[in-house]
């Protein structure tokens, strides 16, 4: 949907439509400067760049001192230039965005291959005179049900960013996927719906090994696989929002649904560059921002494919 910031509305793979849609919120281009939680998420798949959370850059960033970056980044609120290409690789949609707060050119090419898999190829070029910091995060939203299972590398270093309705420690505390410590109890988040027995929300960052990695979402006997390389994409964000009860409006934090009465359960598996959500924090204590030199270009890619879950979705994850 190029008119809506290049949003991907549907992803049909392996005979299944994977992306979640909000039944209460129509797809629409947000107003300039809108906060993501204010417009309430319609669902689908957005790109977040050069930050995920709104922030102001520190004064020591040369050429961008105190620049303010909008919530969810700049791409989702800006219709990109688009080109449709058909070649030996398949059918491709190429979206290109130009930076406003920072000088960059961001390109995403989505190619649907005849064999039934989808390739995402990204590039960003610094068009300015100073090096620039950035974060990137894909933001696909999936339904969270009793049959949802998350497959990431077993024992991978996992850092907490935010939480509600659960206590996994302070922000930045470390765990090993998929087992997190909550008040002395070990919680297995590979099956997030029933992990705690009640409603909760959290955002985690899982560090990937520097090799080819398979990350997957399973829904019953179906599996969506994301194939990527840890040297290109070193981190995966995991956002869990389990909300089965109507909100009284006093319990904000089960994001992004704090103002609506209809319950909603979602999970996001977000391959990303850098952490946490605010670029200012990545430039600070987390020390995980990425940098691009003047005239330099960064490239990364991932592939999605769908199919049947091994052993009907009952196999133990190996993340390989």
pLDDT value for 189? 97
Span 156-178, mean pLDDT? 96
pLDDT value for 40? 52
For residue 44, pLDDT beyond 50: yes
pLDDT value for 254? 46
The boundaries of the domain holding residue 139 are 2-313
pLDDT value for 258? 46
Are the beta carbons of 6 and 47 closer than 8 angstroms? Answer: yes
Tell me which of 315 and 78 has the higher pLDDT: 78
CA 275 to chain centre: 11
Give 115's pLDDT tier (boundaries 50, 70, 90): confident
User: pLDDT, tens digit, for every residue of 217-255?
Assistant: 999 999 999 999 999 999 999 999 999 876 544 344 445
Q: What is the DSSP letter of 53?
A: B
Give 256's pLDDT tier (boundaries 50, 70, 90): very low
Residues 99 and 122: their CA atoms lie apart, in Å, by 15
Give 23's pLDDT tier (boundaries 50, 70, 90): confident
What lies within 8 Å, CB to CB, of 65 at 6+ separation is 57, 58, 59
Are the beta carbons of 162 and 172 closer than 8 angstroms? Answer: no
pLDDT value for 251? 45
What is the percent of the chain with per-residue pLDDT over 90, rounded to a whole number?
76
Are the beta carbons of 72 and 46 closer than 8 angstroms? Answer: yes
Counts for the chain of helices (H) and strands (E), in that order: 2, 24
What lies within 8 Å, CB to CB, of 184 at 6+ separation is none
Give 319's pLDDT tier (boundaries 50, 70, 90): very low
Residues 142 and 268: their CA atoms lie apart, in Å, by 6
**Does residue 319 fall inside a structural domain?**
no
pLDDT value for 263? 75
For residue 140, pLDDT beyond 70: yes
pLDDT value for 29? 76
**Does residue 211 fall inside a structural domain?**
yes
Span 105-131, mean pLDDT? 96
Average predicted confidence (pLDDT) for the chain:
90
Span 260-289, mean pLDDT? 92
Q: Which CATH number characterizes residue 283's domain?
A: 2.70.98.10
**Does residue 11 fall inside a structural domain?**
yes
- Highest average pLDDT, of 35-44, 125-134, 242-251, comes from 125-134
Give 38's pLDDT tier (boundaries 50, 70, 90): low
Are the beta carbons of 237 and 203 closer than 8 angstroms? Answer: yes
Q: Please state the domain count of the chain.
A: 1
**Does residue 318 fall inside a structural domain?**
no
């Amino acid at each position: 949907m190029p008119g809506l910031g290049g949003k991907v509305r549907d992803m049909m793979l392996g005979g299944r439509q994977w992306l979640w849609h909000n039944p209460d919120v129509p797809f629409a281009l947000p107003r300039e400067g809108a906060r993501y939680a204010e417009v309430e998420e319609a669902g689908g798949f957005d790109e977040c760049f050069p930050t995920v959370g709104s922030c102001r850059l520190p004064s020591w960033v040369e050429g961008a001192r105190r620049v303010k970056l909008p919530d969810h980044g700049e791409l989702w609120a800006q219709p990109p230039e688009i080109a449709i290409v058909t070649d030996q690789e398949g059918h491709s949609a190429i979206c290109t965005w130009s930076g406003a707060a920072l000088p960059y050119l961001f390109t995403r090419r989505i190619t649907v291959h005849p064999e039934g898999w989808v390739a995402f190829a990204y590039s960003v070029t610094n068009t300015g005179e100073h090096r620039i910091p950035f974060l990137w995060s894909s933001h696909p939203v999936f339904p969270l049900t009793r049959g949802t299972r998350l497959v990431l590398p077993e024992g991978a270093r996992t850092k907490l960013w935010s939480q509600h309705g659960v206590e996994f420690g302070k922000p930045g505390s470390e765990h090993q996927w998929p087992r997190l410590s909550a008040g002395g109890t070990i919680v297995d988040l590979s099956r997030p719906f029933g992990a705690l027995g009640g409603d909760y929300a959290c955002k985690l960052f899982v560090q990937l090994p520097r090799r080819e990695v398979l990350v997957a979402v399973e829904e019953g006997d179906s599996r969506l696989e994301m194939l990527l390389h840890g040297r290109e994409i070193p981190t995966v964000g995991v956002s869990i929002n389990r909300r089965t009860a109507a909100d009284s409006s006093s319990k904000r934090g089960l994001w992004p649904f704090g103002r609506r009465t209809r319950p909603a359960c979602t999970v996001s598996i977000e391959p990303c560059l850098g952490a946490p959500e605010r670029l200012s924090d990545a430039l600070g204590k987390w020390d995980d921002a990425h940098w691009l030199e003047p005239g330099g270009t960064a490239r990364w890619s991932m592939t999605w494919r769908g199919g049947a879950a091994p052993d009907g979705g009952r196999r133990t994850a190996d993340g390989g």
